């Protein structure tokens, strides 16, 4: 049986951590690619040598040459400028649009059948850009943010309630930014709705912390998070590679769904061998619909800016 092949674009903190997680979970061979000479090769060698302690079968290589990525089943794009204190995700738009356009062009040239998972910010706009540049079907291009935001929400809930995080299933929608829409009514702890276990005031406090989760880490570290974002991307890749039919939130293309009218935005989906196989439509109340519509409008504004940048 031929092992699957995943290319991780960018060998910085997020990329290297993604490569390590892919390898240790034995999800197939991994190629790290970065424009910095020696960076991807060094990180790949370090990861490969870790198999001498905790064995895995995945071959891990590093390169600066796109030819080495040929025939990849999945391409995970982590390259781009990270956030620093005082920056919003939107501040990264122009610089990262240039990078994502370039790497997406190379990715589809060498791996025209690959699924693309975008990790860099501003996430929803970069997914839109990757889809537009690649020309791939909408089900084959997606963004990691929902997995990350749900994980943050779940962590805060589990810590507050003193329960196993394995029992917490967080649900979020909307863009990956300050106007994301955590959904407490659909978030459960051991199958019990969060609204039955926590006061409205505490839920709002954790909701707001989730929205600010990225900048909280940026302010502490001086740069963007990478362990949890990498884990989110790997969970998505694993769902596709193993055809797991995983229900999770991610940035996916919606047309009629939720009345979005054509945009890549965070929604619950089913992820399997066909990529985004289904958009899960929840019965939102009026307040949730209003918050989601506001978030979608912001995403569309950023996507319109992308169109101007790549003309």
Residues catalogued as catalytic: 176
How far apart CA 80 and CA 121 sit, in angstroms, is: 8
- DSSP codes, the chain: -PPPEEEEE--SHHHHHHHHHHHHTT-SEEEEE-SSTTHHHHHHHHHHHHTTTS-----EEEES-GGGGTT-SEEEE--SPPP-TT--GGGGHHHHHHHHHHHHHHHHHH-TT-EEEE-SSSHHHHHHHHHHHH---GGGEEESHHHHHHHHHHHHHHHHHT--GGGEE--EEB-SSTT-EE-GGG-EETTEEGGGTS-HHHHHHHHHHHHTHHHHHHHHHSS---HHHHHHHHHHHHHHHTT--EEEEEEEEESSGGG--SEEEEEEEEEETTEEEEE------HHHHHHHHHHHHHHHHHHHHHHHHT-
For the CA atoms of the chain, what is the radius of gyration?
Answer: 19
- Token look-up 């903190």 returns 13
For residue 62, the number of C-alpha atoms closer than 13 Å in the C-beta half-sphere is 22
């Amino acid at each position: 049986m031929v092992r699957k092949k995943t290319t991780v674009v960018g060998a910085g903190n997020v990329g290297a951590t993604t490569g390590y997680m892919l390898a240790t979970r034995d999800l197939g061979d991994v190629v790290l690619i970065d424009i910095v000479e020696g960076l991807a090769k060094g990180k790949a060698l370090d990861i490969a040598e870790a198999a001498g302690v905790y064995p895995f079968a995945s071959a891990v290589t590093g390169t600066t040459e796109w030819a080495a990525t040929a025939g990849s089943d999945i391409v995970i794009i982590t390259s781009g400028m990270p956030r620093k204190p005082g920056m919003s995700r939107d501040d990264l738009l122009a610089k990262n649009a240039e990078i994502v356009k370039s790497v997406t062009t190379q990715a589809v040239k060498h791996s025209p059948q690959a699924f693309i998972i975008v990790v860099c910010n501003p996430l929803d706009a970069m997914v839109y850009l990757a889809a537009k540049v690649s020309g791939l079907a909408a089900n084959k291009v997606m963004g990691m943010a929902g997995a990350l935001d749900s994980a943050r929400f779940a962590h805060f809930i589990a810590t507050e309630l003193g329960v196993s995080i394995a029992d917490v299933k967080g649900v979020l929608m909307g863009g990956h930014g300050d106007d994301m829409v955590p959904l407490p009514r659909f978030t459960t702890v051991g199958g019990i709705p969060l609204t039955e276990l926590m006061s409205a005031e505490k839920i709002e406090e954790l909701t707001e912390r989730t929205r600010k989760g990225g900048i909280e880490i940026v302010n502490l570290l001086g740069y963007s998070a990478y362990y949890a974002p990498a884990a989110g991307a790997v969970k998505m890749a694993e769902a596709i590679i193993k055809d797991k039919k995983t229900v999770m939130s991610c940035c996916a293309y919606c047309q009629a769904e939720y009345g979005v009218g054509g945009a890549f935005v965070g929604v619950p989906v089913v992820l399997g061998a066909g990529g985004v196989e289904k958009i899960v439509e929840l019965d939102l109340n009026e307040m949730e619909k209003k918050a989601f519509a506001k978030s979608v409008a912001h995403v569309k504004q950023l996507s319109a800016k992308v169109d101007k940048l790549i003309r």
